[in-house]
Amino acid sequence: MDFSAILLAGVVGSGVIVLADKLWLAPRRKKALRAAGIDESADKENMPVLIDYAHAFFPVLLLVFLLRAFVVEPFRIPSGSMKPTLLPGDFILVNKFTYGVRIPIINKKVITNNEPQRGDVMVFRYPVNPGDNFIKRVIGVPGDTITYTDKKLSINNKVVAKELLATETVVNDSGQSVTVKHWLESLPGKDHNIYERLTPGLDAQGVVVPAGHYFVMGDNRDDSDDSRVWGFVPEDHIVGKAFGIWMSWDGVNNRIRFDRIGDGVE
């Protein structure tokens, strides 16, 4: 069960208790107090603990649920698959209505808005295990033909331009030092940074993106579990568009990366 389902259960549970208290339980308690010659205001001081907690937490849980479901939701980056754009320990904010309004839990779209565009950094439910959330960059939209061979990306038979910025040594998720080339890649309408190792990588040969699906890749091209491995992201698996970093924790050096807080996700 994911956090949204747990949160919904908390909202429903506390809401039922609050409603039952207002309709039946509170009137009975007040009646008993009047019969004993005690002012009704004493009910608040002697309210059962469970009911007291329900009254306190219901509005908070409801507000959090509505914000997460329809406005913005926080996520933590667990791996280095989106380096150098996003680092492990980055805490990001995801816009939940950019791609339309969806019913929580079942993720059914009820209000259509924008569609994902090439270059968007998108959070989605992992097609292999929908209980997990993944974050990748949209490379192909419905109808596109994607080819990635020998580190060259082509969309609809047009090679995507990239400019070499540097050759760097970075640490991967296993703690090993690896040499990568740091490129500025230019998707149509979107420039972004990527890493590529010097060793051969995983290719994709003339893949056509079907209707209602998207082809995604990590910016850390040779350390990413993405559409080259498990296929396309169905439209009903989309969660939202990443737009900002609100906190960043460097787990290796145990410190906050203050220089990343407030950065946008491009």
Do 52 and 81 share a domain, yes or no?
no
Give pLDDT, residue 45: 79
Name the catalytic one among 81, 224, 227, 248: 81
The structure's pTM equals 0.86
Among 83, 96, 136, 241, the one annotated catalytic: 136
Report the 3 state secondary structure along 171-215.
ECCCCCEEEEEEEEEEECCEEEEEEEECCCCCCEEEEECCCCEEE
Residue 24's pLDDT is 93
Going by the DSSP 8-state scheme, the letter that residue 231 receives in this structure is -
The domain tally of the chain equals 2
- The two beta strands, 72-76 and 90-95, are antiparallel
4 tagged catalytic: no
pLDDT of residue 43: 78
10-residue averages of pLDDT along the chain (266 residues): 80 95 90 83 83 94 90 94 97 94 80 92 95 95 97 96 97 92 92 96 95 98 97 95 97 94 96
Identify whether 130 is part of a domain: yes
CATH of the domain at 125: 2.10.109.10
pLDDT for position 69:
84
| 19: containing domain | 3-70
Give yes or no: 22 in active site. no
Residues 254, 266: Cα–Cα separation, whole Å: 26
Same domain, 141 and 228: yes
In a domain, 99, yes or no: yes
Please indicate, yes or no, whether residues 22 and 106 belong to a single structural domain of this protein.
no
